[in-house]
Chains A and B, each alone.
Chain A
Amino acid sequence: MEHKIPTGGEKLIQCLEREGVEYIFGLSGGAAMPIFDALVDSKIQLVLVRHEQGATHMADGYARSTGKPGVVLVTSGPGATNTVTGLLTALMDSAPIIVICGQTISPMLGKDAFQEADVTGITYPVVKHSYLVKDGRDIPRIVREAFHVATTGRPGPVLIDVPKDIGQAPCPAPFTDKLDLPGYSVPSRGDPAAIAEAARLLSESVRPVLYVGHGAVIADAGKAVTTLAEKLRAPVVNTLLGKGAVDERHPLHLGMLGMHGTAYANKAVADCDLIMAIGARWDDRITGKLSEFCTDAVKIHIDIDPAEFDKIVKPDVSILGDARLVVEDLIPLIEMGETEAWLAQCERWRKQYPLKYPKKGGLRAQHVLDRLNAITQGDSIITTDVGQHQMWAAQFCLARSNRHWISSGGAGTMGFGWPAAIGAAFGNPHKKVWAVVGDGGFQMTLCELATAQNHKVRAKCLIINNNYLGMIRQWQELFYENRLSGSDLVGNPDFVKLAESYGVQGFRIKRSADVDRILRKAHAYDEGPCVVVAEVVKEDNVYPFIPAGAAVRDMIIDQPTHKLAKPTGST
Chain B
Amino acid sequence: MSERSSRAQRGEAERRSDGPARTLPAAEPIGTHAISVFVNNKPGVLVRVALVFARRGFNIESLVVSPGVEGRFSRMTITCSGRKEDLDQVVKQVAKLVDVVHAIDHTADQTYSVEIALIKLECPLDERTPILQIAEHYKARVVDFGKEALILQAHGSSEKLDALTELLRPFSLVELVRSGKLLMARGERVT
List chain A positions with a Cβ less than 8 A from chain B: 120-121, 124-125, 128-130, 132, 149, 181-184, 305-307, 309-311
Contact = CB atoms under 8 A, between A and B. Distances in A.
A329 to B, nearest CB: 24
Given A149-B98, A182-B101, A124 B51 contact: yes
Contacts of B40: 182-183
A184 B100 CA distance: 8
A133 to B, nearest CB: 12
Given A307-B93, A310-B89, A183 B43 contact: no
A306 B39 contact: no
B99 interface: yes
Interface string B48-74: 100100010000000000000000010
B96 interface: yes
B148 to A, nearest CB: 39
Contacts, number: 44
Contact of B89 (A128, A181, A307): A307
Contacts of B44: 120-121, 124, 130, 132
Contacts of B88: 310
B47 A125 contact: no
B139 interface: no
Contacts of A130: 44
Given A182-B40, A183-B99, A306-B96, A125 B89 contact: no
B16 interface: no
A307 B92 contact: yes
Contacts of B93: 307
A181 B92 contact: no
B105 to A, nearest CB: 14
A305 B95 CA distance: 11
28 contacts: A120-B44, A121-B47, A124-B48, A124-B51, A125-B55, A129-B99, A130-B44, A132-B43, A149-B98, A181-B98, A182-B73, A182-B101, A183-B39, A183-B97, A183-B100, A183-B102, A184-B98, A305-B96, A306-B92, A306-B95, A306-B96, A307-B89, A307-B92, A307-B95, A307-B96, A309-B92, A310-B89, A311-B89
A125 B92 contact: no
Interface centre among B39, B51, B73, B98 (most CB of A within 10 A): B98
Contact of A183 (B51, B55, B101): B101
Interface residues of B, number: 22
Nearest to B38: A183
Contacts of B43: 132
9 closest A-B pairs (Cβ-Cβ)? Answer: A307-B92, A129-B98, A183-B101, A183-B100, A307-B96, A307-B93, A184-B98, A182-B101, A183-B99
A117 to B, nearest CB: 15
A215 to B, nearest CB: 15
A438 B44 CA distance: 40
A294 B98 CA distance: 34
B149 to A, nearest CB: 37
A132 B99 CA distance: 14
Contacts of A128: 98
Nearest to A309: B92
Given A149-B98, A183-B100, A307-B89, A125 B51 contact: yes
Nearest to A311: B89
Contacts of B100: 183
Contacts of B96: 305-307
A194 B93 CA distance: 22
Interface in B132-169: none
Contacts of A182: 40, 73, 101
A311 B102 CA distance: 19
B36 to A, nearest CB: 14
A306 B96 CA distance: 8
A124 B47 contact: yes
A385 B51 CA distance: 30
Contacts of A132: 43-44
A149 B92 CA distance: 18
Interface in B70-106: 73, 85, 88-89, 92-93, 95-102
A184 B102 CA distance: 10
Interface centre among A125, A149, A183, A311 (most CB of B within 10 A): A183
Nearest to A305: B96
B28 to A, nearest CB: 13
Contacts of A120: 44
A373 B47 CA distance: 47
A125 B55 CA distance: 9
A473 B143 CA distance: 70
Contacts of B73: 182
A126 to B, nearest CB: 11
A427 to B, nearest CB: 26
